Amino acid sequence: MSGPPAATEPSAVLGREREHELLVAALDAGAHVVLEGPPGTGKSTLLRAVATRRDVPFVLVEGNAELTPARLVGHFDPAQVMAEGYSPDIFIDGPLVEALRVGGLLYVEEINRVPEETLNVLITVMSEGELNVPRLGVVKAGPGFRLVAAMNPFDAVGTARISAAVYDRTCRIAMDYQSAATEAGIVALRANVVAGVDGAWRGEVVELVRRTRSHADVRIGSSVRGAIDLIGIADRLAAARARSLTDWHVGLDAALVSLSGRVRLAEACTRSAEQVVREIYESVFGAEPSGETDGTEPAPGEA
């Protein structure tokens, strides 16, 4: 008797049990999928976990304006063409042909950054289940071939609107940020290189990062990666300054380094990212303690 279907297996990504179930069900049904959500919500981690459990090859493609059809499909080696002609043996598979041949999962990150002519190649493959490559012939999709694409719906810089033809050939799974408890669990796992982190302080770090997503001056806030980096940097700073990991100034500097580059400010905001991050930091950890220094040099009275 066979075991339970793959869709009932728990997700390897914290807080993504439902999305794991939906993704497996869609892939098992033969569908191609778009994972739509902001950065740091576990899209690629979820798909890698699914590929591992399904025991199918995983082919990653970074979506950007440089992803031409030739880079996606592959090409003949020019030097060997001069010597041997257009032989199938000298064709260098691109990620799409590789995934087609082995029946794997082709994961296209940031699909809304991919040029239209390259998208048209993907649309053809999704529709026909095969690809006609000039001088090579028809490459048919292996039984397990699926296209899974990811996109950040809030990032409009350097991106294009995905055509209805893509959406018509895919199923969409929306992935928003996880709950505070789940993000705290992710940080606990990922920041485990830092020993003895106080759970309450770690929760405040997660809260700090989550508040970047709702601040009036912030258009796009930080993902949970900001909290992971903040803890790691605070740990190193605390050691360098001989201060506690939870020292106010240590935390502030770690927050500025970890978050100021991750937040995207609203166009109407006249302040710097550092100023906004400090305001959010003070809303969580309180105002700067009076009579204290930032720890870079001894405070009055210290040896």
- Does one domain contain both 84 and 137? yes
Q: Which of 109, 8, 103, 124 is nearest to 64 (CA)?
A: 109
Judge contact between 17 and 178, C-beta under 8 A. no
Q: What is the CATH number of the domain that holds 188?
A: 1.10.8.80
- Does one domain contain both 71 and 124? yes
| pLDDT value, residue 1 | 33
β-strand 170-174 against 58-62: which pairing, if any?
Answer: unpaired
Domain span including residue 36: 6-174
Give Cα 140 distance to the centre of its chain.
30
Q: What is the CATH number of the domain that holds 155?
A: 3.40.50.300
- Does one domain contain both 167 and 18? yes
| pLDDT value, residue 199 | 86
| pLDDT value, residue 293 | 61
β-strand 264-265 against 218-220: which pairing, if any?
Answer: antiparallel
| pLDDT value, residue 84 | 77
| pLDDT value, residue 296 | 52
| pLDDT value, residue 72 | 96
- Domain assignment present for 293: no
Answer with the one of 110, 144, 174 that is the final residue of a domain: 174
For residue 140, the one-letter residue type is K
| pLDDT value, residue 9 | 44
pTM above 0.85, yes or no: no
| pLDDT value, residue 195 | 65
| pLDDT value, residue 39 | 86
- Domain assignment present for 154: yes
Q: Dihedrals φ, ψ of 22, to 5°? A: -65, -40
The residues of the chain scoring below 70 in pLDDT are 1-12, 155-161, 192-195, 291-303
β-strand partners of 122 = none
- Does one domain contain both 207 and 105? no
Tell me how far apart the alpha carbons of residues 48 and 57 are, in angstroms, rounded to a whole number. Answer: 10
Judge contact between 103 and 147, C-beta under 8 A. no
Tell me how far apart the alpha carbons of residues 267 and 271 are, in angstroms, rounded to a whole number. Answer: 10
How many residues are listed for the chain in this entry? 303
